[in-house]
Amino acid sequence: MKKSTYLFLGLLVCGIAGGGYYWHQEQKFNDPNGVKITLNPIQPTQYQAEGGEIIAPLVIDFSANIVAPNQVKAPIAQGIKLLPSVKGQWTWENEHALAFLPAQDWAAGQEYQVTLDRQLLNASLSYAPEVTQPQTVKTVPFSVVRAEGEFSQDAISGQHYAVGYIVFSHPVDPKVLEHAIEFKLVQQPKGKEATLIKTLPFYVTYSDNQLEAWIRSEPLALATQEDEFVQISLLKSLQSKLGGNTLDKDVGIPLIAIPNEFSLKNTQSTFSFVNDEEDVLDQVLTLHFNNEVNEEDIADSLVAVLLPALPKGETWSYEKLNESALLQGEVIKPELLGEGQSYTTKTAFRLSVPEERCVYFILNNEFTAKGGYRFKDPLGSLACLPHYPHHVEFVGQDDLLPQYWNSKINLKIRNAQSVILDVAPLSKTQVLSMINWSAPSLRPSDLAIFKPEKTTLFKTETLHTEGENPRYFDFLSVDLAEKGLPPKGIFWLKAEVPVPAGKTEVESAVKNDIDQVTDKLTDYRLLVLTDFDVTTEMEDSGKYVVKVKSLATGEPIESATIRLVTATAEEIEAQATNEKGETTIELPKENAGKTSVLWVTKGDDASFVIIHAP
């Protein structure tokens, strides 16, 4: 065979072998079941309040490990193409993720194309076709996140301004922003297009990170015609200082209304009862305004007319008011509560008006509020004052009223001619059931739930008071022993003020203040008549040392029986006090953190102590 034939056959074999290798390599990068990639969205940059930033990387996740652990965090110099080109560093974030961190912040709303070269990849693995195909990702677009405005007044000078507040997704260049702002005074009647009155000068301040901008006008005059507004808008050509996209459209802050001279409003008038520093009840009228007013101006401008009393069952209304009624009334002078010099949005006055009588208040329009505002017309308001609050309570800070052989109780009463007092003796079972309801204490609100049995020992007494002035408290002392109460025992007490029939709060055009002193018609307490002075002290071991002394002599009480009752009504074995009046009680472990009761008895005397185990 000729040499040329051998040469041809050799070349043919090499070609077939090379083609097979090439085909094999192509199949490794065209395997639908091979390693896949995910190009994660680029997260927004975190801009710090003081001006710093945390830039988020571009991350490509592989579905399998691509590199060895020793290659993680190592810089990558080639094998990846990013368009448009950005300065930065590619690294393997872990064995199956690539990350690119730009040297400077990403451009806003920019689309990037990423292409991976085969030389970057692990040649022993096969890959899905898209791994080496161009992939695209887009950064968060530049936008206005928040845009709002308000008409404001300087707290000291009273000058007026229109202020716009804008928050951007990306930092802005001050010069670029200020060229994109339109700041106009316009007139826009409802349902019609705005017409320009004039362009207004403004200035802008920025947050340190330049994400926020406050756009403020020069001092503005109050409106001289109807429907005047300040219009603030940003042109759609605005771009962040990072470059990238512009706004989709012009962005306008909601129109800022310019008030006129007659914009002063009495937003609310409240009438309340307030205890003064001597615990005496005052009638207080509070006038609320939408702008700051001088207290002394209001005091000089306010006139109050006490209207004539009407027959029982009738009251004044705006329909009944006329000049004759006002002339028949009595002019009274409300007393200003305050320094009389300061500017404030609410002014309070003390009154002295018979309860359930009506007053007509007139506030003239001759004064001016801060900022030049005033009423267009005098203001008139009708207030029909309710009755003074009724009040009853037991004197004593605690929920229990422990007494030593002293069955006297004291009541604090206001605006009541009588008090109904209910007294019911309680058994051990009844006391324990109430303690379980309201553990770890006995509140009057819990005692109100209890309904005592009306046995022969149940007592109801009507006590009469001598108080005539509904503004002042009266104190009433009652010896229950004189009412047939046993000298020892535990008793449930209820005091109630009976409200006279037909005496209800009168309808009023002036709203009642939610903070006012209101009726307190009932109060509840437990009364313990005992000679036991019971104290407890927890030792380091967790056990309780219980000490019982006589309130009469101060001497220890020997052989007093102590029973521990748990919150589940389980009664532990009784203990007796020694000659020192002491015994030790150990609480079951399962009672930790729960309430228990020590029930103390000797002869016909009984008392109890509530303990809360830590």
Label the pairing between strands 266-275 and 391-394: unpaired
What is the phi/psi pair of residue 8, to 5°?
-65, -45
Token pair of 39 as six digits: 């190009």
Positions of E strands within 307-365? 330-332, 335-337, 343-351, 358-363
Token pair of 166 as six digits: 């804008």
Q: Is 533 helix (H, G, I), strand (E, B) or coil?
A: strand
Please identify which residue in the block is written with the tokens 């290798």: 21
Please identify which residue in the block is written with the tokens 């006589």: 550
Task: Give the residue ranges of the chain where pLDDT is below 70.
Answer: 1-25, 339-341, 397-405, 436-441, 455-456, 500-516, 567-569
pTM of the model: 0.65
Residue 174 near residue 49, CB atoms below 8 Å: no
Would you state the torsion angle of the CA atoms of residues 122, 124, 127, 133, taken in this order, to the nearest 10 degrees?
40
One-letter amino acid at 187 equals Q
DSSP 8-state symbol, 15? H
Please identify which residue in the block is written with the tokens 């001497």: 555
Q: Please list the residues that pair with 571 across neighbouring strands.
A: 565
C-alpha torsion sign, points 214, 215, 220, 224:
negative
Query: Any idea how long the chain is?
Result: 614
Pairwise CA distance, residues 480 & 491, whole Å: 11
Q: Which string of DSSP letters, residue by residue, matches 143-206?
A: -EEEEEEEEEE-TTT--EEEEEEEEESS---HHHHHHSEEEEEEE--TTS--EEEEE--EEEEE
Other Cβ atoms less than 10 A from the Cβ of 591: the count is 18
The answer for 176, left when phi > 0, alpha when psi is -120 to 50, beta otherwise, is alpha
Sequence-distant (≥ 6) Cβ neighbours of residue 435 within 8 angstroms: 442, 595, 597, 608, 610
Question: How do residues 451-479 score in pLDDT, each as one tens digit?
Answer: 877 766 788 889 988 878 888 999 998 88
Three state DSSP letters for 410-474: EEEEECCCEEEEEEEECCHHHHHHHHHHHCCCCCHHHHCCCCCCCCCCCEEEEEECCCCCCCCEE
Write out the H or E segment, with its range, that includes residue 21: helix 3-28
User: Which pLDDT score, from 0 to 100, does residue 50 have?
Assistant: 82
Q: Please list the residues that pair with 544 across neighbouring strands.
A: 538, 585
How crowded is the C-beta side of 522, counted as CA atoms within 13 Å? 10
Q: What is the separation of C-alpha 494 from the centre of its chain, rounded to a whole number of angstroms?
A: 36
Residue 306 near residue 384, CB atoms below 8 Å: no
Residue 303 near residue 331, CB atoms below 8 Å: yes
Three state DSSP letters for 480-499: HHHHCCCCCEEEEEEEECCC
User: Which pLDDT score, from 0 to 100, does residue 594 have?
Assistant: 76
Question: How do residues 118-169 score in pLDDT, each as one tens digit?
Answer: 988 988 899 999 999 999 999 999 999 999 999 999 988 889 999 999 999 9
Pairwise CA distance, residues 259 & 160, whole Å: 10
Q: Is 314 helix (H, G, I), strand (E, B) or coil?
A: coil
| Helices and strands per DSSP (H, E), number in the chain | 6, 43
User: Which pLDDT score, from 0 to 100, does residue 150 have?
Assistant: 96
Question: Measuring CA to CA, how many Å separate 90 from each of 59, 60, 136, 169, 408?
Answer: 10, 11, 17, 26, 88
Q: Where are the alpha helices (DSSP H) in 265-361?
A: 295-301, 323-328
Q: Please list the residues that pair with 303 across neighbouring strands.
A: 362
Q: Is 18 helix (H, G, I), strand (E, B) or coil?
A: helix
Sequence-distant (≥ 6) Cβ neighbours of residue 594 within 8 angstroms: 439, 566, 567, 612, 613
One-letter amino acid at 119 equals Q
Sequence-distant (≥ 6) Cβ neighbours of residue 95 within 8 angstroms: 65, 66, 67, 68, 69, 71, 72
Token pair of 153 as six digits: 């007044």
